[in-house]
Structure formats: C-alpha cells, structure tokens
C-alpha cells in the first residue's frame, strides 16, 4: 500500500453532535482493503493549522469488527467539535508497530451549525 491510496472522502456532521462514521478503507481502484491486525489512527486537523488536531482516535478507539472487509467505525464526540463550524481535514493512518506509517485515506470534515441554531 502506498501513502493515501484512496480518493478524498468528504464527511459531514453538526456542531455539538456525536457522530459515528462508518468508513470502508479502499485502495486507488476502489477495492476494499483488509486492515485486520493493523493499528489505525484517525486524525481531524485544523485546515489553517495542521499541527492542531481537534480530534484523534487510534487503536481500540476505532471499531474494527469488520476490518477484514475494510470497514471501520470512528466516533467523534460532541465535546471535540462543540464550537467548530467550518471545514477540517481528516486522515486515516496505518501506524502498525514495526512498519513505516502509511496514509490510507483522507478527506474533509465539514461541521455545520447545530440544528438548534438554524
């Protein structure tokens, strides 16, 4: 697998919302990638300041019950996006010990104003 093997994938949620994202890890041809046994890290970063991660999940914090078919679930807690209302960037990394970190997927996370504010 090369770095960032899939096309950008957009995600969307509302401010003050907890959202579970079901993501299928795919390669550059759109085929599902078996990630069973890998240690994954999902990071959401500020577009203007990439060193500032507003959310990070790795290892046991990513549900990998269907990892053999490339399906994972990442839950972003409302506390992480309580005041955010703009577009961020996310990346999914394979950080398995003993291997060079590999970028698997990436995309945008757009956070909309809370429904109560609309």
- Write out the H or E segment, with its range, that includes residue 53: strand 53-58
- Write out the H or E segment, with its range, that includes residue 3: none
What is the count of structural domains for the chain?
Answer: 1
Give a yes or no: residue 47 inside a domain: yes
- pLDDT score recorded for residue 85: 73
Burial class (CB in 10 A: 0-12, 13-18, 19+), 72: buried
Q: Is the pLDDT of residue 3 over 70?
A: no
What does the pLDDT look like over 75-94, one tens digit per residue?
998 887 766 678 899 999 99
Q: Is the pLDDT of residue 60 over 50?
A: yes
Phi, psi (deg, nearest 5) at residue 67: -60, -30
- Whole domain around residue 52: which residue ranges? 11-90+99-111
CATH of the domain at 73: 2.60.40.1930
- Both tokens of 104, joined, read 């698997």
Give a yes or no: residue 116 inside a domain: no
Give a yes or no: residue 4 inside a domain: no
Give a yes or no: residue 6 inside a domain: no
The rounded mean pLDDT for the chain is 87
Give a yes or no: residue 2 inside a domain: no
Reduce the DSSP state of residue 46 to 3 states and report it. Answer: strand
Give a yes or no: residue 21 inside a domain: yes
d(CA 116, CA 16): 10
In this prediction, residue 1 has a pLDDT band, given cuts at 50, 70 and 90, of: very low
Instruction: Name 22's bridge partners.
Output: 73
d(CA 62, CA 49): 24
Phi, psi (deg, nearest 5) at residue 80: -80, -20
Ramachandran assignment for 91, one of left (phi > 0), alpha (psi -120 to 50 degrees), beta (any other): beta
């Amino acid at each position: 697998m090369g770095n960032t093997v899939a096309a950008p994938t957009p995600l969307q949620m509302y401010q003050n919302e907890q959202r579970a994202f079901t993501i299928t890890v795919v390669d550059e041809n759109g085929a599902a990638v078996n990630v069973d046994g890998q240690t994954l890290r999902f990071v959401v970063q500020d577009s203007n300041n990439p060193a500032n991660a507003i959310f990070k999940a790795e290892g046991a914090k990513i549900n990998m019950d269907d990892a053999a078919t490339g399906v994972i679930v990442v839950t972003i807690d409302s506390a992480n996006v309580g005041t955010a209302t703009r577009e961020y960037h996310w990346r999914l990394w394979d950080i398995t010990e003993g291997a060079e970190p590999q970028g698997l997927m990436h995309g945008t996370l757009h956070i909309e104003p809370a429904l109560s504010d609309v």
